[in-house]
Structure 1
Amino acid sequence: MAHAAPASGPLPDVFSERTHRIASVAVPVVLGLIYGYWAAANRRSGGEITGWNLLFGFVTAIAFMVLYVAVREIASRSIREVHAILWAAFVGGGFGFLYSQSGNTVLKSAAMGLAVGAACFVVLFYRYYTHEDAEGHRTG
């Protein structure tokens, strides 16, 4: 029995340019605040919230936002290998930092960050490799 082949080509963009501009600012802010809260919560280990803990959370959130925007801008203009390495390093480093805030050793945190980063690299490299044409240009 014959079936119709799925249509290939880029997906339609259903959001306006204004929505994309808002999202380009809102996504780093929201992710940064979540990450900062998570890091501060790990650091206090269920204890009381202090001023230093709040400061740590906000500084961590700002650092995350800046790094996220930098990786997003640099990676989008890179070849697939560098693109995957940048995001894997960002995710692995972020995970290792959160893991270290829960009281684990630096060596164990680094090993966990490397493991998560390596897994992220494999997944992202496969995704970027399968979404390029023969000349290395991104499709879709």
Structure 2
Amino acid sequence: MQRSGGPITAGNVWLGIIATVAFAVVFLAVIRLAPRLPREARALAWGAFAGIAFGYLYSLTGESVLRSAGNAGLFGAAVACAAFYRFYTSED
């Protein structure tokens, strides 16, 4: 998204590699740590992870930081609510 259909540059490749590694590290950390948390904190962890990932992708479109943060917050809150509902209804 950042290159807008232009030629592939070394900067684009490095951005993709670094973003992928960062996403994978944080995803694995949430996967490992979330089951140890109470359901409320677990839902917040998944909501924060989803919101940050969405906000980063949205910011690559060239929109303002404020709009990216607002949309990321809304998306993260929706994911946290859905995750809490799932955890609350499926726990023993």
Q: TM-score band, normalised by the shorter chain?
A: over 0.9
- The yes-or-no answer on 1:129 pairing with 2:88 is yes
Which stretches in structure 1 are left out of the alignment for 5+ residues? 1-41, 134-140
The amino acid that maps onto 2:19 is T
Give the structure 1 partner of residue 8 of structure 2.
49
Distance 2:91 2:11 in 1: 47
Measure, in 1, the Cα distance between the counterparts of 2:80 and 2:21: 25
Output one character per residue of 1:75-100: Cα deviation in whole Å (capped at 9) or x when no partner. Answer: 11111001100000000000000000
TM-score, L = length of structure 2: 0.97
Question: Which of structures 1 and 2 has the larger relative contact order (alpha carbons within 8 angstroms, sep 6+)?
Answer: 2
Give 4+ residue runs of structure 1 displaced > 6 Å after superposition: none
The correspondence of residues 1-140 of structure 1 with structure 2, limited to 5 A, is 42-133=1-92
Q: Pairwise CA RMSD of aligned residues?
A: 0.7
CA displacement, residues 7-50 of structure 1 (integer Å, 9 cap, x when unaligned): xxxxxxxxxxxxxxxxxxxxxxxxxxxxxxxxxxx111111110
* Aligned-partner Cα distance in 2 for 1:46–1:103: 14
1:19 corresponds to which residue? none
CA–CA distance in structure 2, aligned partners of residues 71 and 44 of structure 1: 30
Once the two structures are TM-superposed, the CA of residue 54 in structure 1 deviates from its matched residue by 0.2
Name the SS of the counterpart of 1:43 in structure 2.
Answer: coil
Task: Tell which structure's C-alpha radius of gyration is larger.
Answer: 1
Identical pairs, percent: 46
- In the alignment of these two chains, the number of paired residues is 92
Query: What letter matches 1:104 in structure 2?
Result: E
Unaligned runs of 5+ in 2: none
